[in-house]
Chains A and B, each alone.
Chain A
């Protein structure tokens, strides 16, 4: 492996390229739990997100590319959340997910509650024998769709593509590589209980199932 400049245990400060305020506060001084339960307005998220979409729209050609781009923007957030949430767990439950079900529970419960204030509504495994690698996370009323006066750019599908990217980041980071896509399935009929219902389809790569089978036997 290539050599990374290794520092010796010197007591003198190395030359830093970045300036810091005179109180010396850096990101390393700030406790990670400080904003754990902090809140901002939903409007702030909605405005930022819609600008993100508008900006992305100008740089892509077509809806599929747009969704892919939003998925890509959500991905690094998933990676960060994986370790942030794990670090915040009490020691007893501070474990890396080792199985698909453990991972999906982590997403359904920990990730969803952190981002949206509640668990996802349902977790399902595909009943289709041809696709044993597919699982569904169902959200009846995605928080991101609940904001009123939604500009046309912020369609439900766009929001969900971003969230799908976050989920994919969590899966990839935990070594369960997957493709995650979002599908709005809420009906348009009158009296439909959950018009904004969204299904996040998680399709795991073959090696994940192979490993799962191998570990199951052990």
Chain B
């Protein structure tokens, strides 16, 4: 699907087919999740990142059905580039009303970046000034897990991680996504 068509689809689904809630309810809920994890894991931010990724993965496994149903796309994306555009213009749009920019493709077309000009989860947030949070915590890491889980359900094994975050003092918030392989349906081994 062409990018502009994807944008129109995302906009239409967001406007007409998604029930909405006050953004601050969602943002505050996410904030309480992260704060609770930091407390439970005693500010072991590496562990918190892992937990957020796991939670995101669980969400992704379920969210994909929602996405497919709402976006009404019957056919599979023909290549990874198209997948990237759909993620940015439809996926993020219909759930979070944002459209990150797809960029920084590698020449083999297997790796790209998502640049987030807006990140609703990060509203109101300032990381703890404990000398570690800004070096270790990826506040929005749940999003990496969501992508990983959702794409796995449509036969793509990907790896996703943040490389920069304005909450860490960087100028941009950027997530890097790599296609590891397409998952083929394998025939079950024959019974002996």
Contact = CB atoms under 8 A, between A and B. Distances in A.
Touching chains A and B, CB distance < 8 Å: yes
Interface of A: 16-23, 25-27, 30, 35-36, 38-45, 47-49, 51-52, 54-55, 59, 73-74, 76-77, 80-81, 84, 114-117, 143, 146-147, 149, 151
A20 B171 CA distance: 8
Interface stretch (B26-34, B74-82, B106-114, B151-159): B26-34
Interface stretch (B14-22, B174-182, B183-191): B14-22
A54 B97 CA distance: 26
A45 B29 contact: yes
Given A39-B97, A40-B97, A55-B55, A117 B126 contact: no
Given A18-B126, A40-B20, A42-B18, 20 more contacts: A16-B129, A18-B127, A25-B166, A30-B123, A38-B24, A38-B97, A39-B22, A44-B21, A45-B26, A48-B59, A51-B33, A52-B32, A55-B51, A77-B32, A81-B28, A115-B22, A115-B25, A143-B21, A146-B19, A147-B19
Contacts of A38: 22-24, 97, 120
A35 B55 contact: no
Contact of B134 (A19, A41, A80): A19
Interface in B138-168: 142, 166, 168
Contacts of A80: 28
A74 B33 CA distance: 10
Contacts of A41: 14, 18-21, 94-97
Contacts of A43: 18-19, 63, 66, 95
Interface string B5-21: 00000000010001111
A167 to B, nearest CB: 14
A77 B27 CA distance: 10
29 contacts: A21-B170, A21-B171, A22-B171, A27-B124, A35-B123, A36-B24, A38-B24, A39-B20, A39-B23, A39-B97, A40-B22, A40-B26, A40-B96, A41-B21, A41-B96, A42-B21, A43-B18, A45-B26, A47-B59, A48-B142, A51-B33, A52-B29, A52-B36, A77-B29, A80-B28, A81-B28, A115-B25, A117-B22, A147-B19
Binding site secondary structure of chain B = helix
Nearest to B170: A21
B50 interface: no
Contacts of A26: 126
A149 B59 CA distance: 13
Nearest to B131: A17
B58 interface: yes
A17 B63 CA distance: 38
B63 A21 contact: no
B172 to A, nearest CB: 8
Contacts of B25: 45, 115-116
A16 B22 CA distance: 34
Given A18-B134, A18-B169, A41-B19, A52 B24 contact: no
Contact of B23 (A35, A73, A81): A35
Given A51-B33, A51-B58, A51-B59, A44 B26 contact: yes
Nearest to A52: B33
Contacts of B42: none
A151 B62 contact: yes
A44 B169 contact: no
A147 B62 CA distance: 14
Given A23-B171, A27-B125, A39 B29 contact: no
B24 A35 contact: yes
Contacts of B23: 35, 38-40
B169 A21 contact: yes
